[in-house]
């Protein structure tokens, strides 16, 4: 029997007053929480299992509201995400829901709230990868860590490794903007591992460090060491991550 193990945590970092990130693991969500040790959940491989992170837009009031709204909606419909089209429809639906919620607060602090999202849907024989914004999904293998999501960011200026600007997200403006979600399918095998994270991890921590941790540590320890690396680099943003592993019982 195959199973899916997910080790995850969510933390505000050292400089932010609150955590505007949210996390989805199957039917479970963590929104605006503080965890300093990874929580591990194990699921039988069968029904579609969603694992995703949502990063409320910094500098926009209501980022925590937007990320929680999207996380809870994705968690509630996760078992129905059986195809690429279903995932695209779900993300487009999430975009509309964020705008509808913001529209109910016209002129208020939620008017331009928004969030990124990135994650996977694990199925018996394949895995669906998706994202909108700059939260990321990496595949971890013996050949190293490979980014499999697509950053919605402008080209980097010379000498810069990261940017805080996103070119599309769920919500994020006062008038409705359609999105073009990135969704791809990948074959699934026992031993496959994936890292799903917000930019609170990838902005301060270089990819070679992420790669080294994923190579050397098991799931729970890797999640803890990745968080520790982001904190050691100053913890400038909210940090949410999940390590997903497919295994034989």
pLDDT tens-place string over residues 17-50: 899 999 999 999 999 888 889 999 999 999 999 9
What residues does each domain of the chain span?
2-248
Span 223-229, mean pLDDT? 97
Residue of 163 and 99 predicted with greater confidence: 99
pLDDT for the residue 159: 62
Span 135-159, mean pLDDT? 88
| CATH dotted code for 2-248 | 3.60.40.10
Asked if the model's pLDDT at residue 161 lies above 90, the reply is no
Asked if the model's pLDDT at residue 59 lies above 70, the reply is no
Q: Residue 186's pLDDT band (boundaries 50, 70, 90)?
A: very high
Those residues whose C-beta lies under 8 Å from the C-beta of residue 219, and which sit 6 or more positions away, are 5, 7, 38, 40, 193, 243, 245
Q: Residue 103's pLDDT band (boundaries 50, 70, 90)?
A: confident
DSSP 117-183: EEEEEE-SSEEEEEEESS-EEEEEETTEEEE-S----PPPPTT-S--S--S--EE-SSS------EE
pLDDT for the residue 100: 93
CA–CA separation, 145 and 187 (whole Å) = 17
Q: pTM of this prediction?
A: 0.95
Q: Residue 85's pLDDT band (boundaries 50, 70, 90)?
A: very high
């Amino acid at each position: 029997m195959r199973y899916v193990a997910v080790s995850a945590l969510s933390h505000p970092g050292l400089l932010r007053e609150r955590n505007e990130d949210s996390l989805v693991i199957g039917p479970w969500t963590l929104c605006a929480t503080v965890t300093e040790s990874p929580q591990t959940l194990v699921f039988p491989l069968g029904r579609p299992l969603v694992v995703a992170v949502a990063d409320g837009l910094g500098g926009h009031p209501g980022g925590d509201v937007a990320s929680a709204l999207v996380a809870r909606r994705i968690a509630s419909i996760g078992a129905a995400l059986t195809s690429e089209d279903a995932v695209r429809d779900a993300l487009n639906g999430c975009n509309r829901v964020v705008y509808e919620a913001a529209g109910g607060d016209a002129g208020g602090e939620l008017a331009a709230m928004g969030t990124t999202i990135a994650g996977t849907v694990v199925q018996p024989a394949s895995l669906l990868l998706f994202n909108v914004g700059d939260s990321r999904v990496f595949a971890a293998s013996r050949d190293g860590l490979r980014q499999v999501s697509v950053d919605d960011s402008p080209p980097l200026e010379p000498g810069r490794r990261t940017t805080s600007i996103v070119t599309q997200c769920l919500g994020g403006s006062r008038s409705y903007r359609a999105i073009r979600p990135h969704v791809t399918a990948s074959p699934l095998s026992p031993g496959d591992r994936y890292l799903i994270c917000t930019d609170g991890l990838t902005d301060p921590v270089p990819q070679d460090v992420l790669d080294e941790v994923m190579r050397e540590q098991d799931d729970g320890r890797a999640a803890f060491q990745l968080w520790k690396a982001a904190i050691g680099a100053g913890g400038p943003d909210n940090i949410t991550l999940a390590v997903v592993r497919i295994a034989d019982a």
